[in-house]
Amino acid sequence: MGMGRPRQFDADVALDQAMEVFWRHGYEGATIAQLTEAMGINPPSLYACFGNKEGLLKAALDRYTKLRDIWMEEVVAAPTARAVAERMLMGIADKQTDPANPPGCLLVQGGIACGTGSENVPFELAARRARNEEQLRDRFIRAKAEGDLRPTSDPAALARYVSAVSVGMGVMASSGADCEALRQVASVAVQAVEAQSEPRSDSAKPSG
């Protein structure tokens, strides 16, 4: 009998486990032995299902991106540009220091120290981060059209700024920064976004 995937193989569960290994060790640091042990499969099954280690990373990133997209939908649903930035960055501070998860962000951690043979990995991760930036840009364009942001504001630059702050927070979290430190960074960034917003009377400010 050939060594195919186990009868009880659950792709989502296996990818969640692989995701955590890549998250904790990065692409370069994650070994096939660590990945197969975490996933509960053998190396032939890994190669049969995903082609190679990079194929497994892409599948894990697809899984991670799908879950992150659900969260980003909640982020961009916030009523103002300031609230969008606050919901995203404060959420990152909480999520990336939650003991239930590896520290930092997979889209940052996964590409650390990639060497020869894995040059495509940083570009793959950058493309996933760019998607989040595009979601922010589109939301800030709408905020400007609705009069929430100043006419002189640049939605693309603002999205790039918030995205850059989020990446920096991921690096801080992976280096051991606690939630309070990340929330302080988030607070300053939220103030920067607020500075690009049209002034509102207290009665007109949304509570979210």
Domain boundaries, the chain: 11-199
* Residue with more model confidence, 67 or 154: 154
Task: Name beta bridge partners: 8.
Answer: none
Residue 208's pLDDT is 47
What are 65-90's pLDDT values in tens digits?
Answer: 888 889 999 999 999 999 999 999 99
Q: Band of the pLDDT at 28, cuts 50, 70, 90?
A: confident
Q: Band of the pLDDT at 108, cuts 50, 70, 90?
A: confident
Q: Band of the pLDDT at 144, cuts 50, 70, 90?
A: very high
Average pLDDT over residues 58-68: 87
DSSP per-residue codes, the chain: ----S-TT--HHHHHHHHHHHHHHHHHHH--HHHHHHHHT--HHHHHHHHSSHHHHHHHHHHHHHHHHHHHHHHHHTSSSHHHHHHHHHHHHHHHTT-TTS-SS-HHHHTTTT--TT-THHHHHHHHHHHHHHHHHHHHHHHHHHTTSB-TT--HHHHHHHHHHHHHHHHHHHHTT--HHHHHHHHHHHHHHHHTTBPP--GGGS---
The CATH number for 11-199, chosen from 3.40.50.720, 3.30.160.40, 1.10.357.10, 2.60.40.10, is 1.10.357.10
Residue 8's pLDDT is 56
Average pLDDT over residues 179-205: 85
Is pLDDT at 11 greater than 90 in this prediction? no
What are 37-56's pLDDT values in tens digits?
Answer: 999 999 998 999 899 988 99
Give pTM, 2 decimals.
0.81
